[in-house]
Amino acid sequence: MATFQKPENALKRAEELIEVGKVQDALDTLHATMQNRKFKNMWTTCIEQIMVRHLELCVQLKKMRTAREGLYQYRTMCQAANIGSLELVVQKFRKAAEQKVHEAKAQQDSDLAGVEDLDEQEAPHSILLRAIQAHDTRQQSQDRDLHMHFRFLWDTYKVILDVLKSNVRLEEVYHETAKHAFEFCRVNKRPAEFKRLCETLRKNWQDLQKHTGKVPVHQVDPRNADTISRTLETRCSQLRICTELDLWRESYLTATEIYELMSKARPKPNLRSMYYEYLGKIFWKSDNHLFHAFACLKNLQFVKAAKSNITKEELQVLASRAVLATLCVPFQRNSDIHATLELTTEGASSPYEKAKKHAQLFNVASVPTRETISQNLVEKTLLPLAAEPVRRLFDLIQSDFTPLSLCQDAKPYLDEIAKGELFDGQLVTYITPLKQIIFFRLMKQLSEVYSNMTIDNFEAAASIVPFSIAEKWMANAARHHGINIQINYSHKTIVFGAPRKMDMKSMRQPLIEIGHKLQQAMQRVAPEEQHKKEKLEKQQISQNIVRRIEEETKLIRQRKDEIERRKEESERRKDIEEQKAIAAQRKQEMLEAAAERERQEKERIQRHREREEQLKKEAELLKNKEMLEEMKKQADMTKTSNLKIEGKKLIDIDIDDMAGFDPNKIIAAREAQRQRERQEKIRLRKLESKRVDHLARALREEEQEYLEEWADDIVAEDESYVEKAQDKEIEEQRVKHDEGLEERATLISYKAPTDVWAEGLLEARRAAHKEAEREREKRCLQKAIDLKIQRARQRAKEAAASEAEKKKLKRERDEAETKKKEQEEEEEEHREMEEERSRRQEEEVEERRVTEEQEKEERALRTEQRKKDREADQEKLNQQTDRQRQKEVEIEARQKSEAEERSSARAAPRKEEPRKEEPKDDDDGDNWRSVRKAPARDDKRDDKREDKRDDKRDDKGGDDWRSGPRSAAPTRDEAPSERPKPAWAKPREEKGRDEGGDDWRSAQRSAPTRDEAPSERPKPAWAKPREDKGRDEGGDKGGDDWRS
């Protein structure tokens, strides 16, 4: 087989071989490529395509061994590279195998049940049949091909489960494949293969639990909650298929596994309910009515508590089933030798141990009884949820003591349940056990009341069953339920409480067990006596050998006679079978006669159906005639008689011509006539609409002049109303202005004392305020320096840590590359290993040298950078210190000059300011509203703000802690005099003196901005100096002018 340098070439070569029909050669080529050592650890998308094509050819040629080897190889290949590719490949492989089976089934409708075992290559009988035939028939060939496809699909499921059993990322595909295999066994009725599949899944789960310690990352963890949930869902599907295939032992094992899984993780509510339901079916199939009733009770309690949206009908079905299952539980036996032996039998095979094991499946410690289940139904108010007949039966069986009327009272309810109308026949299966329980209850009550009874009276009392069945049930009651009863056929009576003869058959097994126990005890107490006894028995056997030979000869003759007797009996049986065959033939003839009668009945029904169709056609013809008459009348009214049907005008069509017309054409003509009528109505409505439109237009033209006059009248009324409203508003404002002047005159006398009091307080607080500002500036400066040093240290630490991390990563990467190279070199020859090792050592020396040089350069760069940063910080600190000192000098000079100005202002009398011309709104200057001028721009403050912005730009990366939302606060570069002052910190000379102070509506109370000088800020009316009082422009010329 040729080798390829690239996998693409192998795929291309395989496609060429497939095109020319050499499918086997193409498969060999792809298989050799997958097994090639060159591509062993190299996964690519091309390798994935090769694997998919490889598996498709294996499905086509049914080469399971080749497919298995390829899958295992591909799993090793993509385990670390791309495990998702294995999931895709497995899914395509499974779908291809399933599609092949569907195609084969479509071509040949064959039953898979004829194949005994899918794990065998071919059945024995088919091998023998092919050996005695010269050639296979076409049917045999098709069946053999179909069976081979089925076997291949079954092997596909097994291989996929084996490949995916331990990988955590392929866990979903594993469970999906298991469910596909379950469905395959269910559809094709394969119980043997299903049992092997269950054993395989069980073994895989046990293998996962064998691992101790930490589970690898890629392996399935059996303690993970998601893994347990997926496994639990798969086991529930397995339990459902087990019950459908009647594999009840496997169902019980699966239920045990589900219980173990549910104890590790909390399952979904529907899974727990399904678990109880199928567990009840298992116990019902095994005639264990006690645990079947307990399962129904647990399911009812769980569904009622967990499912909030359950319907009343569903709850009633569950409650009725639980009550009937409880009634089917046999009553507790009396204490006798059987119960004693059950309680004393050793080992796990005793009934009590089995019952305890069953109880563990329900997560209960004690074994339930009939009484406890009935008590739970009553105490937890579950009994009222059941149907009415079920509740009545419960009351009759549990509490009432009516031996003569028990069966008669229960029969109506049993018949109602047996009809199957109640809950679609879901409770019919409980009828026979219920009858047995009622019968045993009747026997118990009759034995307590009567000593004997005639058979006729007994038949009347036990009317629910015939006497032939009652005889068998009475024998079982006498044997198992401890009721002493005897039937006297000579006197036709039934005797209760009669002494019962010892039945040797019933005593056989207990006596055998007692004998075994006594023999074991004797062997332990006196083993020597036992050996002596055995020697004596051997001696007696040797002495009596002649007599034993004669006895055995006699037995042989008796056996020969028995064989002859059995031959005669066999011939007699054959005669009976021949008579049965004749009876069967007669029955077959009767069936054929019944089939003939059925055929005649079908023909009669067919004739009846044809007659009904004929009547239907006649009715349809009559309907068409009526429609034609109506159309003619409508045509006469609308004068549209030119309508035609199949070439004839409507008025020319007679009643006799209707038989030859198509009803659909008549209906179409009727629709066309209606369409014409509709169009005529639309045309008339359009004409009417046009006439109305012209009339409306004429009315609008006539009313246009009257509308203009009406609009002029409305405008005049509005103008007069507006003038009156303005006069009223002016009068109200004049009154408010007069009131304000009076209030001002009242409060002006308090201004001087207030100014003196405020000045006294401010003088004492200014010095403390200035000192606090200096302390705050020092603290802010020291804190900024500390923060900058801290940030520098933090940056240095982070740089060192990042550098160490880079070195560590680089060292780990180098080590990983070195290990990889060493692994590759181990596969090469010794000479190449030595050369590679020497070359790698030189590279490591060179890398260390380069690394050391880089580290030296980086350390030098960091040292130089830190030095530059320190110099820049020191220079900036010196500049800031110089600017601060210069600003302090300027502030002191400014404060001195302001103090001199204030003292001179107090000494000199205030000159009268010239009256400024007020702005006017109207030509007559009668507007009394004053307008405040905008404050002038302070160029000096703008320059200072620009200086502060430049200082902030010098800082690195916004490290100033005073930036952000509190940027309005003063920075360390600002002088105290440049900061905005609060209202209480203004000097007395800066307050009030604004023009037009009498205007109480002016916006003088707005907060000062940062760009306003103290002298330009507006002052309130009460803050004016004493010299300004009464000197307003309006006051000099008569303050009565309210418009100033």
pLDDT, tens only, 356-374: 888 888 888 888 988 898 8
Following DSSP, what letter does each residue of 475-526 receive, concatenated?
A: HHHHHHS---EEEETTTTEEEESPPPPPPHHHHHHHHHHHHHHHHHHHHHH-
Structure tokens belonging to residue 597? 């009668």
Contacts of 766 (CB under 8 A, 6+ apart): 985
pLDDT at res. 637 = 61
How many Å apart are CA 288 and CA 362, to the nearest integer? 15
Structure tokens belonging to residue 884? 């601060």
Looking at the DSSP bridge assignments, the partners of residue 648 are: 645
Looking at the DSSP bridge assignments, the partners of residue 3 are: none
How many Å apart are CA 892 and CA 445, to the nearest integer? 124
Spatial strand order in the sheet of 485-488? 452-454, 493-496, 485-488
pLDDT at res. 241 = 92
pLDDT at res. 714 = 92
pLDDT at res. 949 = 52
Contacts of 1015 (CB under 8 A, 6+ apart): 990
End-to-end CA distance of the chain: 117
CA distances from 229 to 154, 172, 178, 264, 973 (A): 26, 11, 15, 10, 69
Structure tokens belonging to residue 246? 């009647």
Neighbours of 460 (CB within 10 A): 12
Number of H helices, E strands in the chain: 30, 5
Which mean pLDDT values do the consecutive 10-residue runs of the chain (1044 residues) have? 75 88 88 82 84 90 89 85 87 90 74 52 52 49 73 90 88 92 90 91 88 78 88 92 91 91 87 90 90 90 85 88 88 46 46 85 87 88 87 79 73 83 82 84 78 84 82 78 76 72 56 78 76 80 82 89 90 89 89 89 89 85 77 66 62 61 73 82 88 87 86 90 92 91 87 85 84 91 92 91 89 86 78 80 88 88 88 87 86 86 69 42 40 42 51 45 41 44 45 41 40 44 43 40 39
903-910 long-range contacts, Cβ below 8 Å, gap at least 24?
Answer: 905/989, 909/1027, 910/1025, 910/1027, 910/1028
Structure tokens belonging to residue 570? 């066999």
Q: Do residues 281 and 243 lie in contact, with contact meaning Cβ atoms separated by under 8 Å?
A: yes
Q: Do residues 474 and 485 lie in contact, with contact meaning Cβ atoms separated by under 8 Å?
A: yes
How many Å apart are CA 721 and CA 968, to the nearest integer? 52
Helix (H, G, I), strand (E, B) or coil at 159: helix
pTM of the prediction?
Answer: 0.47
Share of the chain above pLDDT 70, in %: 76
How many Å apart are CA 283 and CA 329, to the nearest integer? 12
How many Å apart are CA 356 and CA 345, to the nearest integer? 15
Contacts of 944 (CB under 8 A, 6+ apart): 974, 978
pLDDT at res. 524 = 77
How many Å apart are CA 779 and CA 795, to the nearest integer? 24
Structure tokens belonging to residue 920? 């006017």
pLDDT, tens only, 17-37: 988 888 898 888 888 888 887
Q: Do residues 326 and 320 lie in contact, with contact meaning Cβ atoms separated by under 8 Å?
A: no
CA distances from 492 to 268, 451, 453, 475, 487 (A): 61, 14, 9, 17, 8
CA distances from 87 to 51, 165, 174, 601, 967 (A): 12, 12, 9, 61, 62
pLDDT at res. 443 = 81
pLDDT, tens only, 567-578: 899 888 988 998
